[in-house]
Amino acid sequence: DNDEECLNCDGNIYPPGFQSSPTPKIEMINISDVAGGQSQVLIQFYYNDFDYWGWYWAVDDVSILSQSQFDASLETIIWGWDNSYDELSLPYFQIPISQLAPIDFSSKVSNFGSDNINATLTATVPGIYSGASNLVNLTPFNIDTLTVLNSFTPPSVPGSYDVQFNLNTIESDADLSNNTTDNYTLE
């Protein structure tokens, strides 16, 4: 009934994707502190529309899994100019040559594993640019921001440039499918 029960709401009383959200909300919740070592565990889902006359709440594809030892995930790519970016920045995908400036890249990264994991974020424009963050030790079920150390200044030659992002770990990551994202194309 309050925002303290809303997962990942960051103090907002409205859950992510509330009401008519066009995209699903995917949650990974560590329940080992209450379910670990128990002979029986019951899971209950509760829907609260916050008195906004919500139409329905769809729950689909629920899985209860043993936690992997190492599982890092690339959550959100953030980029901008002169370190003036944040999660709310509006990245430009077409940049006039007269406005070329160094572009900084970072990412929110999660650790869904049971152990600490050492990770770096890389950003690459094949044949033109390669950058990496410092190695960061991520603790279980926490989110951190990894920032690529060297900026990318697009060439002054008009064209399309695909920026590739990858989360690299020293440990053997259980799920590599969430360590990359779609390329970002800059013109």
C-alpha 131, offset from chain centre: 19
In which element (H, E) is residue 34 found?
helix 32-35
Joined together, the tokens standing for residue 47 give: 């829907």
Per-residue pLDDT of the chain in tens (187 residues, 90 and over written 9): 333 445 555 555 455 545 555 555 667 777 877 887 888 988 888 777 776 666 666 777 787 777 788 999 998 888 877 555 455 455 667 888 888 888 888 999 999 888 999 999 999 999 999 999 999 999 988 889 999 999 999 898 899 999 999 999 999 988 888 899 888 888 8
Residues 6+ apart with CB under 8 A from 59: 45
Please report the pLDDT score of residue 5 as a whole number.
46
Please report the pLDDT score of residue 134 as a whole number.
96
Please report the pLDDT score of residue 21 as a whole number.
52
Of the candidates 135, 94, 97, 95, which has an alpha carbon nearest to the alpha carbon of residue 118? 135
Note whether 107 and 180 are within 8 A (CB): no
In which element (H, E) is residue 168 found?
strand 161-169
CA atoms of 128 and 143, how far apart (whole Å): 30
Q: Which long-range contacts (CB under 8 A, 24 or more apart) does 171-176 make?
A: 171/69, 171/70, 171/115, 171/117, 171/118, 172/70, 173/70, 173/71, 173/72, 173/117, 174/68, 174/69, 174/70, 174/71, 174/113, 175/68, 175/71, 175/73
Residues 6+ apart with CB under 8 A from 94: 186, 187
C-alpha 161, offset from chain centre: 22
Please report the pLDDT score of residue 55 as a whole number.
67
